[in-house]
Amino acid sequence: MTVFRAIALAAFAALVIATVTGPAVSSATASCGGAIAHIKDPGLRASFEKFEAQQSSAATKVCAASRDAG
């Protein structure tokens, strides 16, 4: 019975670690949405980049959190 508990605890710990760490490359994109780099129209892309550069520090934190969650 104790061996079963030890295996179950180890499996649960591995699951928690795998869930909490998440993918390491999710924050590699420079922009919040990540789709700005795929816009072909240079004027439209520049307007989105300008808008993103003017975002508040709170918006930057939310973007970082959403990148880390995905």
Per residue in 39-69, pLDDT (tens digit) is 788 888 888 888 877 878 888 788 777 777 6
Q: Which of 4-8, 14-18, 21-25, 40-44 has the highest mean pLDDT?
A: 4-8
- pTM of structure: 0.37
Q: Tokens 């699951």 label which residue?
A: 15
Indicate the DSSP class of residue 45: H
Show me where the domains of the chain are located. 2-69
- For 69, counting Cβ atoms within 10 Å of its Cβ (0-12 exposed, 13-18 middle, 19+ buried), the class is exposed
